[in-house]
Amino acid sequence: MKDRVYNFAAGPSMLADEVLNELHDEFFNYNGSGMAVMEMSHRSKEYMEIFNEAKGRLRRIMEIPEEYEIFFMHGGATGQFAAVPMNLMKKKKADYIITGNFSKKAAQEASKYGEVNIIYDGKENNYSHIPSADELSFSDDIDYVHLCANNTIYGTEWKTFPDTGDIPLVVDMSSDILSRKIDVKEFGLIYAGAQKNIGIAGIAVVIIRKDLISDHDPKTPQVMAYDLTLKNDSMLNTPPTYPIYVLGKVLKWIEEIGGIKEIEERNIAKAKLLYDYLDHQSFYIPHAEKGSRSLMNVTFTTPSEDMDAAFAKKATEQGLCNLKGHRLVGGIRASIYNAMPIEGVEKLISFMEEFAKENA
Ligand code: PMP
């Protein structure tokens, strides 16, 4: 394959060409330092600039209020499945809403640290539905409510978030952070692995309301303790220096193309194109319920498993890669994160039309 492909992978996923080009240009000698970023001390002046710029850009783009802290942490989103209960479960009780595989994993991890009430589980409809407010009621005396904003595997996404009143809402935004405008004030804590929408694997971004940070339990590993992370400005130990640098480049790209408003418009346009096509044909069967559809991961099946496999194989030959669905849903999954250009989606739809014609 000589040319670059359209990479529909669910994560790690594509980066914008502009980002890759800058990484390439600065690879051997960052900004005249005579060093690659990955060779730099995390305490050096050059690196601290990279670090602070990335943090500043994130605060600006997401309009993160002053009463919230930004952490860059190790361990990906899965690390936060544990860090959240370790740090926030003071009363040892939390509500979890299960809308897919990752919210289930988060709940399982949290149950090691306290009582976890599953107040909704969408397994009956194979996680094709996002609950509405009247399907949810929260338990008394809990530390927080946890949900997953976008279900990467099933292709469903919360359009609006439940009002939990005084109870902090904790949200895993790994697969839709920075894909649309949100109001950070609705949340007690937001966390996300970077490798889908905002960079590469190796870093989790945590946005936390300051009043939720308190002294850690002595058994909490140092690198997981939010109070120590705050005290050391995410540098208790060596941070994931290169992933933070790449995050900064992705954020720079987002600002340069017009910020979250432009990104959201692009994402809505891409998803609309694909869903409109799916809704006006009968060969492919969409998985997610209409009102619960994700802007990021579009899931559907062909009439048979053999055909799903043939679809993914043939698409790859045409430079449309990683379309095979996750084994839990089967079929096809097109992940169309921020970096996927609309041309990729247009090419995918042309391919789908052709494949349907040949196999109907
Ligand atoms: N949450 C969601 C929504 C995800 O999509 C993923 C990864 N696919 C995870 C959590 C786990 O992330 P990580 O691999 O960074 O631990």
User: What is the per-residue pLDDT across 266-301, written as a single tens digit (0 to 9) for each?
Assistant: 999 999 999 999 999 999 999 999 999 999 999 999
- Is 13 domain-assigned? no
Q: Is the CB of 155 under 6 A from ligand 1?
A: no
Spacing, Cα 189 to ligand 1 middle (Å): 16
Spacing, Cα 102 to ligand 1 middle (Å): 7
Residues sharing a CB contact under 8 Å with residue 23, sequence separation 6 or more, in sequence order: 246, 249
Last residue of a domain, one of 255, 279, 308: 255
Same domain, 124 and 70: yes
How many domains in the chain?
2
pLDDT (0 to 100) of residue 255? 98
Which of 105, 109, 152, 198 best tests ligand 1's pocket when mutated (most atoms within 8 Å of CB)?
152
pLDDT tens-digit series, residues 249-260: 999 999 999 999
pLDDT band, residue 3 (cuts 50/70/90):
confident
Same domain, 273 and 171: no
Same domain, 180 and 281: no
Q: Per the omega criterion (within 30 degrees of 0), is the bond before 221 cis?
A: no
Same domain, 173 and 308: no
Q: Is the CB of 193 under 6 A from ligand 1?
A: yes
pLDDT tens-digit series, residues 313-338: 999 999 999 999 998 889 999 999 99
Same domain, 77 and 215: yes
Last residue of a domain, one of 209, 230, 255: 255
The CATH number of whichever domain residue 275 belongs to comes to 3.90.1150.10
- Is 178 domain-assigned? yes
Asked if residues 95 and 145 have their Cβ atoms less than 8 Å apart, the reply is yes
Last residue of a domain, one of 226, 255, 284: 255
Spacing, Cα 358 to ligand 1 middle (Å): 36
Spacing, Cα 218 to ligand 1 middle (Å): 27
Spacing, Cα 204 to ligand 1 middle (Å): 10
Residue 110 has pLDDT above 70, yes or no: yes
Q: Strands 150-151 and 156-157, how do they pair?
A: antiparallel
Asked if residues 267 and 296 have their Cβ atoms less than 8 Å apart, the reply is yes
pLDDT tens-digit series, residues 7-16: 999 999 999 9
| Residue nearest atom 15 of ligand 1, based on CA coordinates | 76
Domain that holds residue 164: 18-255
Average per-residue pLDDT for the chain: 97
Same domain, 155 and 284: no
Q: What is the pTM of this model?
A: 0.98
Same domain, 153 and 73: yes
pLDDT (0 to 100) of residue 1? 59
Same domain, 241 and 175: yes
**246-277: string of b/e by CB count within 10 Å (b at 16+)?**
bbbbbbbbbeeeebbeebbebbeebbebbbeb
Residue 151, sorted as left (phi over 0), alpha (psi -120 to 50) or beta, turns out to be beta
> Rounded mean pLDDT of 99-111?
98
Same domain, 208 and 147: yes
- Is 6 domain-assigned? no
pLDDT (0 to 100) of residue 163? 97
Same domain, 139 and 237: yes
| Residue nearest atom 9 of ligand 1, based on CA coordinates | 77
